[in-house]
Structure 1
Amino acid sequence: MSARRVAVRSGLAQGWIELRQSFTNPAELVSHFLWPVLLLIALFFLRDRTFGGFQLGVLVLPSMVGMNAAMGMVSMSQLLTADREDGTLLRAKATPNGMLGYLVGKVVSVAAGLVVDLAILLIPGLLLVDGLTVGGSWIALFWVLLLGLVATLPLGAVLGSVFTTTRAQGLIQLPVLGLIAISGIFYPITALPGWVQAIAQVFPIYWLGLGMRSAFLADSFASVEIGDSWRHLATVGVLGAWAVFGLLVAPVVLRRMARRESGSAVAGRRERALRRVG
């Protein structure tokens, strides 16, 4: 068996171990449930409002599912930065094909954790709102979710390579929240000015929300979308473009980051962190 195959198998095993541990660690367990619960509370207050003759809650729940999938980008970035700061990446770098195994493990743990989080959100959400056509939507749900993860997780790895400390990760939060606000997640994007719609359509969050709405809603709901259409080809095109960009850029950035890692760099970051705490 080749060394790369051994690294991949090791990464797969590590990913599943990290996923199981996230449900035994109190802090990580809270993070699994906190965001879905907050979204369900928002859904509860939106469920009886209407837009374009449709219940807003029915439009919002699939959008929330798409938004949650996009948030894997932030999770990947935060984990990579934390592991860089505490020396985990340096240990992976010192192992033959260790970076490959490390990245496989992170992709598995983040992607599987997102699927669990989506279930925590979706199952109670289906009890709050009526009008979702879940039965015939599994194929669309699968390809939108898979393409969305491929489009966003490499971007998270790129962002995690750029920021050297967990404190700097706060710089990511505001732009992401701003994109969520203009991407038609909590209210149809057609209610926003045209220039705002144009900005939102550049990024994956809008397209993941649109794709999930197309998977869960009847065709009549497309009347509140741009062009009165689900725009499947455009969804594939934009998410595919981001996936290609991330897959091309992430390996280059990660290799460059790994070359810069050293024991002195890790010790320096640890010393600075201790001085902040002190």
Structure 2
Amino acid sequence: MTTTALRAGFRRGLIELRQSFTTIQDLWGYLFPTLIFLVVMILMKGSTIPGTTFSRGSMTLPSLIGASVGFNAMINTMQQLTLEREDGTLLRAKALPHGMSGYLVGKIVMISGMTLTGIVLLVVPGLFLFDGLEIDALTWVTLVWVLALGLVATLPIGAVLGSLFENPRTMGVVMLPVTALVAVSGIFYPIGELPSWVQGIAQVFPLYWLGLGMRSAFLPDAMAAVEIGGSWRAWETLGVLGAWAVAGLLLAPVLLRRMARRESGSSVAARREKALQRVPG
């Protein structure tokens, strides 16, 4: 990748991110999930974590921050790749020198920016609405490293999925298992309340560790008692997210190069024809 391609991709990502702040559809995409999450957490404020007096709503806030990082990075990356394969954007990028490198850098910048925006929209009101959170210098240090490693671990997963699915209408095939994974990853209730085999499955994937890492940043140390092993398991979080990051960074470029080689004018035209056939006449 040349420096020129890197700069061009970075500028492209910033432009696309800025454009997302000027369209009603994208703004609604930022605000609507945040409003839903805040309402759910407010309804949970009166409930406490079993064995403690700590509000379930307060515990859910950092968990949702972590889940949002993983979910948005994976789903938005996949969605962008599948949509832009169909409309020919990827083919045009492929035709330019180092075009695919610049394209991917742009998507990383844009999706990372979108993810950070969603986190800010969730954190700022959440800090005022929910009690019991502990904010100090260590909070921000933990937030930064978990966020950065979480993005590196989950963005390549989205790229892998985007390289495997050509049709944007197959998003539901991925959304259902990812949503189910969120449900069993201790985001809305302590994972210790779930059967041990479900706990084992959840701990294989990044979403659980992102939620755990964010809880360790914002919750008092006493709340570690309700976690698996009675601790925040920082080293395990680092290890699992790091393993996913390494695996994704090794696999994603291979699949993306293969995807790019297969792109042609005829393949784009064929996908457009199929899309038009689905539109009622």
For the residues of structure 2 that align with 1:110 and 1:250, how far apart are their CA atoms? 16
- The Cα shift of 1:135 comes to 2.4
Helix, strand or coil for the counterpart of 1:256?
helix
Residues 185-220 of structure 1: CA deviation (Å, up to 9, x unaligned): 000101111111000000000000000000111110
Question: What residue in structure 2 maps to residue 85 of structure 1?
Answer: 86
For the residues of structure 1 that align with 2:65 and 2:123, how far apart are their CA atoms? 7
- The Cα shift of 1:84 comes to 0.6
Question: What residue in structure 2 maps to residue 156 of structure 1?
Answer: 158
Task: For structure 2, list consecutive stretches of 5 or more residues without a partner in the other structure.
Answer: none
For the residues of structure 2 that align with 1:36 and 1:152, how far apart are their CA atoms? 20
- 1:115 partner amino acid: L
For the residues of structure 2 that align with 1:129 and 1:135, how far apart are their CA atoms? 16
Instruction: Confirm or deny: 8 A CA contact 2:41 2:58 kept in the other structure.
Output: no
- 1:175 partner amino acid: P
For the residues of structure 1 that align with 2:127 and 2:225, how far apart are their CA atoms? 22
Determine whether 1:58 maps to 2:58: yes
Question: What residue in structure 2 maps to residue 264 of structure 1?
Answer: 266
Given candidates 2, 5, 19, the residue that maps to 1:4 is 2
Residues 47-105 of structure 1: CA deviation (Å, up to 9, x unaligned): 12101212111211000000000011111110111011100000000000000000000
For the residues of structure 2 that align with 1:4 and 1:25, how far apart are their CA atoms? 32
- The Cα shift of 1:32 comes to 1.0
- 1:154 partner amino acid: P
For the residues of structure 1 that align with 2:178 and 2:101, how far apart are their CA atoms? 28
Map 1:75-154; keep pairs closer than 5 Å.
Answer: 75-136=76-137, 137-154=139-156
- 2:56 partner amino acid: L
Helix, strand or coil for the counterpart of 1:230?
coil
Question: What residue in structure 1 maps to residue 201 of structure 2?
Answer: 199
Instruction: Confirm or deny: 8 A CA contact 1:69 1:149 kept in the other structure.
Output: yes
Map 1:151-190; keep pairs closer than 5 Å.
Answer: 151-190=153-192
- The Cα shift of 1:41 comes to 0.9
Given candidates 227, 232, 236, the residue that maps to 2:238 is 236
- 1:42 partner amino acid: V
For the residues of structure 1 that align with 2:217 and 2:252, how far apart are their CA atoms? 29
- The Cα shift of 1:221 comes to 0.6
Question: What residue in structure 1 maps to residue 13 of structure 2?
Answer: 15
TM-score by length of 1: 0.98
- 1:6 partner amino acid: T
For the residues of structure 2 that align with 1:12 and 1:34, how far apart are their CA atoms? 27
- The Cα shift of 1:171 comes to 0.7
The ranges of structure 1 where at least 4 consecutive aligned residues each deviate by more than 6 angstroms after the TM superposition are none
Question: What residue in structure 1 maps to residue 39 of structure 2?
Answer: 41
Residues 98-153 of structure 1: CA deviation (Å, up to 9, x unaligned): 00000000000000111011010111111221111122300000000000000000
CA root-mean-square deviation: 0.8
Instruction: Confirm or deny: 8 A CA contact 1:68 1:118 kept in the other structure.
Output: yes
For the residues of structure 2 that align with 1:110 and 1:121, how far apart are their CA atoms? 17
Instruction: Confirm or deny: 8 A CA contact 2:58 2:132 kept in the other structure.
Output: yes
Helix, strand or coil for the counterpart of 1:50?
coil
Instruction: Confirm or deny: 8 A CA contact 1:47 1:128 kept in the other structure.
Output: no
**Segment drifting more, 134-143 vs 250-259:** 134-143
Helix, strand or coil for the counterpart of 2:132?
coil
Question: What residue in structure 2 maps to residue 32 of structure 1?
Answer: 30
For the residues of structure 1 that align with 2:58 and 2:227, how far apart are their CA atoms? 14
Identity within the alignment, %: 57
- The Cα shift of 1:35 comes to 1.1
Question: What residue in structure 2 maps to residue 69 of structure 1?
Answer: 69
Instruction: Confirm or deny: 8 A CA contact 2:82 2:163 kept in the other structure.
Output: yes
Question: What residue in structure 2 maps to residue 223 of structure 1?
Answer: 225
Instruction: Confirm or deny: 8 A CA contact 1:132 1:217 kept in the other structure.
Output: yes
Helix, strand or coil for the counterpart of 2:162?
helix
- 1:13 partner amino acid: R
Determine whether 1:210 maps to 2:212: yes
TM-score by length of 2: 0.97
For the residues of structure 2 that align with 1:141 and 1:48, how far apart are their CA atoms? 27
- The Cα shift of 1:26 comes to 1.2
- The Cα shift of 1:250 comes to 0.3
For the residues of structure 2 that align with 1:112 and 1:135, how far apart are their CA atoms? 24
Determine whether 1:249 maps to 2:251: yes
